Structure formats: structure tokens, C-alpha cells
């Protein structure tokens, strides 16, 4: 009884922390504590030396009398990867010509950071939900649903903002002079060369740590294999939510819905012994948890989600699963 009480207190404390942290802000002050790896959209971030900074500063020709959108100083020198058209790509915020385009891109970029944090936040809530006491699960489920709704909104907003920035910049380059376009390409080439030089230096420094890194990686692989092997021998019942089953071509509306759902949830699929392709989401231990997730999936647009039960990877009836699980 004492152990249950401690577990309940721990779960409640974690839940409160997650609820308090679920409000996200675009203000630059909120970015100070963001992990470095989430503050850019390129494959890696390379620090800029003073020569490169001066080179960037001279690259963008801003029309006179325009009010420039100011990037927060903490992010101003981050590397980006933005394809404007087939001939022009930006690697720095300073490459933007139009202030309104830079603002639109920056907002999309920040929202993308927010989306990554929100997805991690929601996944953590799901883990808390799976171990929470029954009286806490309704509250946790409502927080998860709110996070998922925010995720859907961000997934709609981000592409629109990127496209707006792209259209504004593309219109500029379609009407500029050939001389200016040639000059920009040359300066962009110099910028890329400078990044390549820095990347080579970083690679050389990393060589000395190769042996240690390899040993660590091999250890992680072995630990993962051991975990997977243990999971494979787990005889417990698993409940999943079936979101669709199709024989032959998947109808386009269903295909779009599955893709949309897969953005915020892990969607799995398999082909049964009758040749039907079955799509599921969730890995739940109890029937009650499955029913809660089933209701959430309904609110996300799936009309008839079904609770499906599996024993050692083989599908069985829900009644059989509840009997094995002693849930009757």
C-alpha cells in the first residue's frame, strides 16, 4: 500500500510538471534553454568565424526604406537550409532579401522547434499514462489530446509559412538583374567553402575519439538487442487500436487520414493471413487503456476505430485477451 502511494505521488508530480510546461512561446527569451541540436534545420551546425560573419553581412541587398525583421541575437548566426527555387538556396538568415519573407520563415522555423518539443512532450505523457493510477488517467488523457490537437495545428501552419517565405523571395529573384544574381551565387559559393573548411576541422578533431565512440556504439547496439530479445519473449497481452483494414488499393481519403494520424502517433501495419493490410496504433496493457485511446482516436477523425487484442503477436478476440489478462 505504501509503494502504491509513492508511485501515485510520483506520477502526480510528473503530470503537474508536464501540464505546467505545456504552454509554448515564440518569444526569443524562451529559446535560451532550447537544446542546441533543435535550434537549426540543417544536418549540423557549424560555428561561424569573424571572416564568415563579415561575408554574410555583405551578401544581402535590402531595399532602401524597408524595416528589417530582427532575428534574436542567440539565433542570428545559425545555419539554415532553405530552397527558394531550383537555382537559389539560403544557408543563413542574412541571405533573405525581403523582411516579410524572413519573418515568415523564422516563424515557421520556430514553430518547427516547438513541434519537435511538443511531440517529445506528448510521448512522455503517454508513458506516464501507461503507469498512472486509474483515477489519474482521465486527466492525463485530456492533456494528451490537447497536445495532439496543438500538433495538428502546427503541422498545418508550418508548411504555409515556409511557402509564403519562398514565394516572396522567389518573386524578388525572378525580377532582379543577371549581375546581382551572379554576384549572389558567387558569395554563396564562398560561404559554402568556408563551412566545408570548418567541417573538415571538426572531422579531424573527431578522429581521435573514433575508437571510444565505436566501443560505445557497439555497447549500445548490444543493449538494444538484449532489450528487443526480452520484448520478443514477453507473453503478455497487447491491445492496439485498428484504424483501418484494406484489401487491395487503399482509398485516398483513408490514406490521407492514416498519413495525418502518423504525424502525431506511431502507426504500424501488417498483412493478415487473408491478404488484408491492417493499420494499428498503440501498444497497451489493459482493455481500459485501449478504450481510452479508442475514444481519442475517434476525436482525431477515425470514424470506427476498433480495439484489437494480440497474444504473443497473434491476434485473438478481445474476450479471450481479457480472460488471459484476468480483466473480466
Strand, coil or helix: 257: helix
d(CA 282, CA 266): 7
277, β-bridge pairs: 246, 271
Q: Residue 9, exposed/middle/buried by CB under 10 A (0-12, 13-18, 19+)? A: exposed
Residues whose CB is less than 8 angstroms from the CB of residue 104 and which lie 6 or more positions away in sequence, other chains included: 161, 162, 164, 165, 168
Q: What is the pLDDT of residues 35-47, one digit of tens each?
A: 444 333 333 333 3
Residues whose CB is less than 8 angstroms from the CB of residue 182 and which lie 6 or more positions away in sequence, other chains included: none
Task: Please name which of 127, 162, 164, 153 lies closest in space to residue 260, comparing C-alpha atoms.
Answer: 153
- Domains of the chain from N-terminus onward: 2-205 (no CATH), 234-324 (3.30.70.1070)
pLDDT at 215: 58
Q: What is the pLDDT of residues 206-257, one digit of tens each?
A: 776 655 555 565 666 555 555 444 444 345 788 999 999 998 888 998 888 8
Residue 154 sits at the vertex; the CA angle it makes with 261 and 283, to the nearest 5 degrees, is 30
The three cell numbers of residue 280 are 494499428
Asked if 235 and 312 touch (Cβ cutoff 8 Å), the reply is yes
Residues whose CB is less than 8 angstroms from the CB of residue 10 and which lie 6 or more positions away in sequence, other chains included: none
Number of CB atoms found within 10 A of residue 47's CB: 9
Please, what is the angle between helix 2-20 and helix 99-131, to 10°? Answer: 170
pLDDT at 24: 38
pLDDT at 248: 86
pLDDT at 39: 39
**Which positions of the chain have pLDDT values less than 50?**
1-7, 10, 14, 16-66, 227-234
pLDDT at 171: 93
Reported pTM: 0.47
pLDDT at 88: 86
Residues whose CB is less than 8 angstroms from the CB of residue 77 and which lie 6 or more positions away in sequence, other chains included: 47, 48, 53, 92
How far from the centroid of its chain's Cα atoms is residue 160's Cα? 17
> % helix / strand / coil in the chain, to the nearest 5?
60, 10, 30
Amino acid at each position: 500500500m505504501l509503494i502504491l502511494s509513492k508511485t501515485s505521488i510520483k506520477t502526480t508530480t510528473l503530470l503537474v510538471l508536464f501540464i505546467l510546461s505545456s504552454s509554448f512561446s515564440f518569444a526569443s527569451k524562451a529559446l535560451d534553454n532550447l537544446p542546441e541540436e533543435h535550434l537549426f534545420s540543417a544536418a549540423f551546425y557549424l560555428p561561424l568565424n569573424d571572416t564568415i560573419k563579415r561575408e554574410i553581412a555583405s551578401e544581402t541587398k535590402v531595399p532602401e526604406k524597408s524595416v528589417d525583421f530582427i532575428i534574436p541575437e542567440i539565433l542570428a548566426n545559425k545555419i539554415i537550409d532553405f530552397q527558394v527555387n531550383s537555382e537559389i538556396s539560403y544557408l543563413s538568415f542574412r541571405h533573405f532579401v525581403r523582411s516579410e519573407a524572413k519573418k515568415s520563415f523564422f516563424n515557421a522555423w520556430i514553430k518547427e522547434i516547438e513541434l519537435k518539443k511538443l511531440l517529445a512532450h506528448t510521448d512522455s505523457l503517454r508513458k506516464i499514462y501507461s503507469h498512472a493510477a486509474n483515477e489519474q488517467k482521465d486527466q492525463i488523457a485530456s492533456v494528451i489530446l490537447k497536445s495532439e490537437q496543438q500538433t495538428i495545428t502546427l503541422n498545418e501552419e508550418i508548411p504555409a509559412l515556409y511557402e509564403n517565405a519562398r514565394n516572396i523571395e522567389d518573386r524578388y529573384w525572378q525580377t532582379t538583374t543577371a549581375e546581382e544574381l551572379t554576384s549572389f551565387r558567387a558569395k554563396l559559393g564562398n560561404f559554402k567553402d568556408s563551412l566545408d573548411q570548418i567541417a573538415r576541422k571538426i572531422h579531424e578533431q573527431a578522429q581521435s575519439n573514433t575508437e571510444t565512440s565505436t566501443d560505445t556504439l557497439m555497447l549500445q547496439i548490444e543493449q538494444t538487442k538484449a532489450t528487443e530479445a526480452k520484448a520478443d519473449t514477453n507473453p503478455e497481452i497487447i491491445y492496439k487500436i485498428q484504424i483501418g483494414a484494406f484489401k487491395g488499393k487503399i482509398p485516398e481519403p483513408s490514406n490521407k487520414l492514416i498519413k495525418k494520424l502518423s504525424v502525431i502517433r506511431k502507426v504500424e501495419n501488417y498483412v493478415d493471413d487473408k491478404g488484408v493490410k491492417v493499420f494499428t496504433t498503440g501498444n497497451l496493457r489493459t482493455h481500459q487503456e485501449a478504450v481510452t485511446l479508442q475514444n481519442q482516436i475517434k476525436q482525431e477523425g477515425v470514424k470506427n476505430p476498433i480495439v484489437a487484442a494480440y497474444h504473443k503477436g497473434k491476434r485473438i478476440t478481445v474476450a479471450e485477451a481479457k480472460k488471459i489478462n484476468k480483466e473480466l
